[in-house]
Amino acid sequence: MANYQPGDTVGLIIDWKNDAGTLTNPTTSTLKIRSPGAAAAAVTATYIQSDPAMTNPSTGRYRVDYSIPLAGSSIGTWRVRWEATGTVVKNIEDSFVVDASPFVT
């Protein structure tokens, strides 16, 4: 888990592997991001592999560069959930922390 500040860009990366451990592109890859102030079921942002913001730089690897808002409830622990279906069926959750900055209100 890494720490960031409002306005930073977080590189969110997943490496999808099949049951044999080989990097594999799933049929669908989805990323859901939930801000610290969001309710448990509320999603702040969603990206799917057809979204230009989600890149697939190599087999099995997907990346989204997410810009943390400067305002609002960005301070705290953000939750991330990657979901894969089809050739790879997995869900992986992670998080990152946004700390207060004396330069950003």
Which letter, b or e, does each residue of 73-91 get, where b requires 16 or more Cβ atoms within 10 Å of its Cβ? ebbeebbbbbbbeeebeee
For range 81-100, the mean pLDDT = 95
Bridge-partner residues for 10, per DSSP? 66
Residue 71 confidence (pLDDT) above 90? no
Tokens of 65: 């560069």
3-state DSSP call for residue 22?
coil
pLDDT score, position 102? 78
For range 6-35, the mean pLDDT = 95
Enumerate residues 6+ apart whose C-beta is below 8 A from 40: none
pTM: 0.89
What pLDDT, in 10s, does the model give residues 37-57? Answer: 777 778 889 999 999 999 999
16 C-beta neighbours (distance < 10 Å), count? 22
